[in-house]
Amino acid sequence: MNNLFTFNDTIAAISTAQGASGIGIVRLSGKEALEIVDKIFLPKDMAKPSDFKSYTLHYGWIVAGCRRKPNIIDEVLLTVMRAPKSYTREDVVEINCHGGIVSLRSILELVLANGARLAAPGEFTKRAFLNGRIDLAQAEAVLDIIQSKTEASLRLSNEQLKGALSDGLNNIRKSILDILSLLEASIDFGEEEDATKTKNGRLTSRIRSINNQLKQVLDSASIGRLLREGVSVVICGRPNVGKSSLLNALLKEERVIVTPIAGTTRDIIEETLDIRGIPVKIADTAGIIEPRDLAEHEAVNRARRYFGKADLIVLVFDASKSLTKQDKILIRKINSRPAIAVLNKIDLPLKIKKADLKPYFKKIVELSALKLKGIGALEKALLDMVLGGRPIEAEPAMISSLRQKDCIVRAFNFCAEALNLAKCGWSQELIAESLKGAICSLDEITGRKVSDDLLDKIFSEFCVGK
């Protein structure tokens, strides 16, 4: 965050999505929040916001200018939440006004003119973290809740916000600290050789138990990231095999124009599906052909780019026609990429059978996008390819970001190093140093030890107002 900013400032921002809506919220946080709204809020009973009790809602008007002849900006409800029992543990005021952009901006400008500073992205949540109301894993969960695309990802984010991940990691941290205290006592007072061997046996057992716990958390990373970030799937194939019809069938709506004319799709059409809890970002691409004009040339180039970066490819074939040269070129392009072959148009007499494609694909699905037959089988095949047979259910202590995974990997490696040192009879000082490294890695997840640069990076991903 900009070094010119201080956390002694009172900050303000629009906290609701901009655009026409029923209500909008301008939020303030800081020691001068109540003093600022004293100047601009005219309650019906003429009381002052600075006299309002915490957790109370008050009806009135936001006004500019002299109170005897006020210029009314909007009719509002004003909510007061006093420190320390607020989102940021500072005095917080929320002005609930009409949701028009002019009203919201006018109120925000008035608040800023009376002493508040415009909040940086994520600054409200950053203050909640720095003031000790939530830890860093919980702060990241706030962003995950906002960005959740499925009910399953929302449940995972809420578990993290409640502290499930933090509690699990803190328990592991405590176990490591218990071992460290025993090691340090042993280092300070020394012991006979036989006693040291006995203690090393117990030590390796306890470190192994911690490593097993870290491994369980690490194993949750792939499912956690799937629930959080989803998977990208590209539908491709030669022109007129039914790619757009297939996307419409998956979406259960007429999202893409479908005609008998080859090359109808020129641009990339992207949508996100919820397939049994997994967010699947699916893209319908132009048929990959030799382009006939500049528009087709760009469409094919875009299709190839999406083809190259997708997590999973759905290659569609027209099963009512024999394999063409273009089909075979696309099969070769897939090579060893994760892919599902779709034999579309099975409602017509078949010219391609599953056996024809078995040498090239592990998953082959027969369906009719037009008749909506076999769509469920494709959804199941997509999940099987993505999950590899693992269950979807979110565990309470599940990591969901690459940053968190990296920290757990380092903690696991430090513990593995400590275990190896203990087995080989190395000095307890070296074992202790490795275990301290594991604690530092865990502390990066919860924010006990974290650099300002990392904090700035994490909170810069938030929207202004949260």
Question: Are 209 and 246 part of one and the same domain?
Answer: no
Beta-bridge partner residues of 280: 231, 273
Both 33 and 105 in a single domain?
yes
- Indicate if the alpha-carbon torsion angle 68, 72, 73, 76 is positive or negative: positive
Cβ–Cβ < 8 Å for 379, 276: yes
Q: How far is CA 185 from CA 179, 181, 188, 190, 208, in A?
A: 10, 6, 5, 8, 21
In a domain, 289, yes or no: yes
Q: How many independent structural domains does the chain possess?
A: 3
Supply φ then ψ for residue 89, to 5 degrees.
65, 20
Tell me: do 178 and 274 sit in the same domain: no
**Which residue type occupies 239?**
P
Question: Whole-angstrom Cα distance, residue 37 to residue 35?
Answer: 6
Whether 259 has a binding-site annotation, put simply, is yes
Determine if residue 262 is labeled as part of a ligand binding site: yes
Residue 443 known to bind ligand: no
Is position 244 annotated in a ligand binding site?
yes
The reply, when asked if residue 423 is annotated as ligand binding, is: no
Q: Are residues 85 and 113 in the same domain?
A: yes
Note the residue count of the chain.
466
Residue with tokens 């600054």: 123
Name the domain boundary from 90, 113, 134.
134
DSSP H or E stretch at residue 68: none
264 is in an annotated binding site: yes
DSSP category for residue 207: H
Q: What is the pLDDT of residue 391?
A: 62
> Residue 454: inside a domain, yes or no?
no
Return the CATH number at 52.
3.30.1360.120
Task: Please check whether residues 56 and 73 belong to one and the same domain.
Answer: yes
Q: Report the C-alpha gap between 297 and 263 in whole angstroms.
A: 11
Pairing of β 56-64 and β 71-81: antiparallel
Q: Is 149 assigned a ligand-binding role in the annotation?
A: no
In this structure, the answer to whether residues 239 and 359 fall within a common structural domain is yes
Both 21 and 43 in one domain: the answer is yes
Domain final residue, candidates 369, 387, 405: 387
pLDDT, position 75: 96
Amino acid at 315: L
Q: Is residue 241 marked as binding?
A: yes
Dihedral (CA of 198, 199, 202, 205) sign? negative
Mark whether 304 and 381 lie in a shared domain.
yes
The closest alpha carbon to 168, from 146, 193, 137, 143, belongs to 137
**Is 211 annotated to bind ligand?**
no
Identify the three-state secondary structure at position 341: strand
HSE-CB of 319 using CA atoms within 13 angstroms: 21
User: Do 93 and 118 belong to one domain?
Assistant: yes
Distance CA 366, CA 150 (A): 27
Q: Is 65 annotated as a binding residue?
A: no
Cross-strand bridge partners of residue 13: 27
User: Is residue 128 domain-shared with residue 264, that is, in the same domain?
Assistant: no
Q: Which residues of 124-163 are buried (b: 16+ CB within 10 A; e: fewer)?
A: bbbbbbbbebbbbbbbbbbbbbebbbbebbbebbebbbeb
Q: How much is the pLDDT for 190?
A: 57
What is the extent of the structural domain holding 29?
11-134
Closest CA to 56 of 5, 92, 32: 92
Instruction: Report the CATH number that the domain containing residue 317 is assigned in CATH.
Output: 3.40.50.300
Write out the chain's pLDDT in tens, 466 residues.
454 566 789 999 999 987 778 899 999 999 999 999 999 999 987 788 999 999 999 999 999 976 677 799 999 999 999 999 999 999 999 999 999 899 999 999 999 999 999 999 999 999 999 999 999 999 999 998 988 888 888 888 888 899 999 999 999 999 999 999 888 877 655 554 444 444 567 888 899 999 999 998 988 887 888 888 888 898 888 888 888 888 888 888 766 544 454 444 445 778 888 888 888 888 887 655 554 545 555 556 666 677 777 789 999 999 999 999 888 888 888 877 899 999 999 999 999 989 999 999 989 999 999 999 999 999 999 988 888 766 666 565 678 788 999 999 999 999 999 999 988 888 888 999 999 999 999 999 999 988 889 898 999 898 888 8
pTM equals: 0.81
Asked if residue 133 belongs to a known ligand binding site, the reply is yes
Q: Which of 353, 387, 421 is the last residue of a domain?
A: 387
CATH number for position 190: 1.20.120.430
Distance CA 268, CA 265 (A): 8
Residue 10 labeled ligand binder: no
Residue 451, marked binder: no
CB neighbourhood size of 198 (10 A) = 12
In a domain, 465, yes or no: no
**Which burial class, exposed, middle or buried, applies to 16 when counting CB atoms under 10 A from its CB (0-12, 13-18, 19+)?**
middle
80 and 55 co-located in one domain = yes
From residue 367, alpha-carbon distances to 172, 259, 342, 432, 443 in Å are 49, 19, 7, 60, 50
Q: Within this chain, do residues 267 and 367 fall inside the same structural domain, yes or no?
A: yes
- Residue 94 is assigned to a ligand binding site: yes
* Start-to-end CA span in the chain (Å): 15
